[in-house]
A and B are shown apart, each in its own frame.
Chain A
Amino acid sequence: MEGGSARTVLPFLAPALAVVFAVLIFPALYSLYASFFDWPLNDASAREFVGLGNYLKLFQDPEFWNSLKLQLGFIVIALPIELVLGFGAALLLNREFPGAGVVRTLILLPVFMLPVLSGFTWRYMLQPDYGPINWIIGALGGKQVLWLNSPTLAYTAVIMQDVWRMWPFMFMLLYAGLTTIPAEMYEAAEIDGASWGQRLRLITLPMLKPTIVTALLLRLIDALRIFSEVFTMTEGGPGSSTLLFSLYTHRQAFSFFKVGLASAMSIFLLIVSVAIAVLIVRKNMRLEEMEKGADS
């Protein structure tokens, strides 16, 4: 049973490998290939080999740097807020209170909501006059805020949408992490007279660190490729004020029809993502643990 030569296992692996090759590996290689060409969409015959020209062009394109800056800003602002909110909620709710199960379940609804709907929900919430948020502001006697018409406010709104949607994700992972810390550790600390702050600093945080790192890295992977929510919420606008990396890639390919440049961007993001994914896998996921973890 344990042994098994390559010949006996191959039939089991082959179908999955075939699918993965057809729709993952091959497209990735094809992107790499296309990134060396000046390639108009839908007219492969007009393509022209330019070597690394697309990459050089990208690095001279202010819009590329802008999208990179927006993307990084989005990550740097949204993720810490999500972490703090999720961590705070996990600390508070890590006890049995009436209705705990209901809260812990339903709070996850936004996480699994269709990204398209989540984007449109916020677009609607932020509309002038009839949008709920402006309606409340108006009812309180405040002035209308044209959220999606101002570059800064639209960018803020995109981040708000993500925080709203994803802090429960942090909560869920951190709460799961908290429940694995043995209660005896806290009891012993309490007997020794440790204050709440000390227990947090000396027990909770060190014990939870691996979970926090995993949660942040998983969010990072997701945040890097965010598309649908922003696309439906702002379409990258106004102007290019919310044109995050994947939205700019999409625009290059399907508005400007520049497949070569879009492919160069694709490869750039692919390399960054693979690097982070390998880091996640190396640091935080051992095959043996995943195999054991059916009940966790």
Chain B
Amino acid sequence: MRRKRPLLNWAIAAGAFLVLAIELFPIFITIASGFRRDLDILSAGPFSLKFNLRSWYLVLFKNSEYLGYVWNSVQVAFLSTAISLVTGSMAAYGISRFRFRGRDTLAYSFLVFRMLPQISLVVAMYMMFQAIGARDTIWGLTLAHSSFNVPYVIWMVLPFFSQIDRSYEEAALVDGCSRFQTFRRVFLPLAGPGLVVAAVFAFIMSWNEFLYALILTSTQAKTAPLHVAGFIAADGLKWGQLYAAGTVLLLPVFIFTVTMQKFIVRGITAGGVKG
């Protein structure tokens, strides 16, 4: 394309890695702080080399309730991903394969739905959930998370769906399969990659979510991010434990960022990055 200027390229590389180092410094320092005792962080400064596993031990073994909240997070993320994937892929199939009146409006509405602010819904949800006993339950929070994940999945899978050759479905219909059998047995297996990508994105959206968890849960269905927030405030400054616990939550995010790179641009244009 352009003339090769190897020296310039190395200079750019050096600059780029410097920027990357500065950008990731706050994340690095928090992960490192997870390997310090709460007390050392307050007294020895942020760059001391006194590392130990005390905070990790406290978070994972001594006060093992944290793992219970991680489990809640995992359940909610998996369930809401499952609900969103099933209902979302069905709806996307309908939008992709049928030409019905209001089709475009419906598709665009889902996109708008994805962009609604959670704070505008959460007060009403609190009262609704309180009234029907869904507050502080796994399935209640799962439903709440599905409010952003269902529209999200629809828009994530649409491009994948429309690329799948229709001849297989047509053949199946001719052979006497019902619409739904065709969808389930013929279409979905072909749509595998798209579904996996959508599932991973939906999972991370739910995993990172905080506001719904803050308002709609308290003890039973409390998720890990909410518990992490509790290390600061009421009972003193437990930065070490906060970051040990936080590092556990960062792990899926890290894997997600590295593996989903190819799809991230589409993922965020389908409606923002934050839950």
Contact = CB atoms under 8 A, between A and B. Distances in A.
Interface of A: 1-6, 8-9, 11-13, 15-20, 22-24, 26-28, 30-31, 34, 41-42, 44, 89, 92-93, 95-100, 102-117, 120-125, 130-132, 135, 164, 168-169, 172-173, 176, 183, 186-187, 214, 218, 221-222, 224-225, 227-228, 231-232, 245-246, 249-250, 253-254, 259, 262-263, 266-267, 269-270, 273-274, 276-278, 280-281, 285, 287, 290-294, 296
Interface in B51-75: none
A254 B218 CA distance: 13
B264 to A, nearest CB: 6
B154 A221 contact: no
B120 A266 contact: yes
Given A106-B257, A250-B119, A294-B163, A92 B15 contact: yes
Contact of A15 (B46, B87, B106, B268): B87
A13 B123 contact: no
B257 A112 contact: yes
DSSP class of A's interface residues: helix, strand, loop or mixed?
Answer: helix
A45 B4 CA distance: 75
4 closest residue pairs by CB, A with B: A225-B117, A12-B94, A4-B98, A16-B91
Interface residues of B, number: 116
Contacts of A92: 12, 15-16
Contacts of B12: 92-93, 95, 97
Nearest to B23: A107
A23 B266 contact: no
Contacts of A105: 257-258, 261
A293 B158 CA distance: 9
Contact of B123 (A26, A121, A122, A263): A263
Contact of A1 (B47, B170, B228, B274): B170
A105 B110 CA distance: 29
A131 to B, nearest CB: 7
B24 A130 contact: no
Contacts of B127: 30, 34, 41, 44, 259
B137 interface: no
Contact of A114 (B43, B112, B113, B208): B208
B215 interface: yes
